[in-house]
Amino acid sequence: MLCVNLGSRTAKLTVLDVAPGARAGAPGTPVAEAEPALEDVGGGAALRPFAAHPPDVVAYRVVRTSALPATDAVAFDAATRAAILAAAEFAPLHTRSVVAAYDALSAALPAARHMAVFDAAFHRTIPAHAAAYGLPYDDFTAGWRKVGFHGLSHAYAAARTAVLLGDAQPTRKLVSLHLGGGCSAAAIDGPHSRDTTMGFTPQDGLLMATRSGTLDAGMLLAYMRRKRLSIDDAEALISQRSGLLGLGGSADMRAILTARAAGDQRARLAYDVFVYRAVGAAAAMAAATSGLDALAFLGGIGENSADVRADVTAGLGFLGARVDPERNDASNADALISPPGSLPVLRIHTREDWIMALAAAG
């Protein structure tokens, strides 16, 4: 199976063998993998690493369609393609790239079965009181509600945390923090999502690489009027020119950390806002599950920044969370990074590809 995972800034292609009985929390080792430039997915150079492993199935991570998905995966065909394009305005950083990848790969690999795997499917269990906005009721029933994203990553966090902690420490209430180019927190009770910070679009919630995250809707309207922005201008502002980039001058957390250490006040503000939003979101997610049994960090920033993990966890000290500095600094694999007596805190290398493969195979 070839898994095509296109993020807002990155592309990851992985070939996996999926055996009968494979478990979500015990991922298989990739047969082959590559990270081409986002615009190169589907080209000859991007497919060259997989020439020796022609796939039976191609699975695509689909961020948004025109309606909430009823299943985890469906055939990627003309109808699915149209449904994805119909939602392009709701997830502009992802939609067009996945359709372009499908168009190229379905032509290059016509014998393979092509499957769309929905990133939001994991969040189908979010209750109505967490999904509804304060808009007219008819709009809620028509689909103007929280959808949620990063569901593949959060589903993996739940499954992997249970494996890492073992039967002696069953995890029922987990807050999963996926921190990368896009960022979201999720409240997970057992295997079920109960709330998440991204909403109707991936724009909502935490501060991200180039996305603003949650804004006062009234302020945005006033900002548009004062600066005479069109809808397209405003969309570009909040999705491509804000977040860490807008506040701190770079969309890369590594550059923010370097500038912050050198005393750059702009970078310091961006970092502090990023951490503050993550702490607040994690606390809110713990409230959604009426308690917390474990905290997991995933995503490019969550996996690789010991500073972010330490500072976010410190902000959640009132919930009993701590990190062991040596474990936190040394960790470069799935690991428990909290000391004895702490709420379990984990660093997990997310495997969205594995959850995609299981969904497409099922």
Helix (H) or strand (E) holding 60: strand 57-62
Please tell me whether residue 102 adopts helix, strand or coil conformation: helix
Please tell me whether residue 5 adopts helix, strand or coil conformation: strand
- The angle that helices 265-288 and 306-315 make with each other, rounded to 10 degrees, is 50
Distance CA 105, CA 90 (A): 24
Bridge-based pairing of strands 294-298 and 345-347 is: parallel
Distance CA 221, CA 309 (A): 35
Distance CA 152, CA 63 (A): 10
Q: Is residue 278 within 8 Å of 143, Cβ to Cβ?
A: no
The catalytic position among 72, 119, 334, 353 is 119
Distance CA 185, CA 175 (A): 7
Work out whether the CA dihedral 302, 216, 132, 74 comes out positive or negative.
Answer: negative
Distance CA 199, CA 206 (A): 11
DSSP secondary structure code for residue 196 in this structure: E
Q: Is 119 a residue of the active site?
A: yes
DSSP secondary structure code for residue 169 in this structure: S
Count the helices and strands in the chain (H runs, E runs). 15, 12
Tell me the H-state helices in 289-335. Answer: 299-304, 306-315, 325-330
Please tell me whether residue 40 adopts helix, strand or coil conformation: helix
The residues assigned a catalytic role are: 119
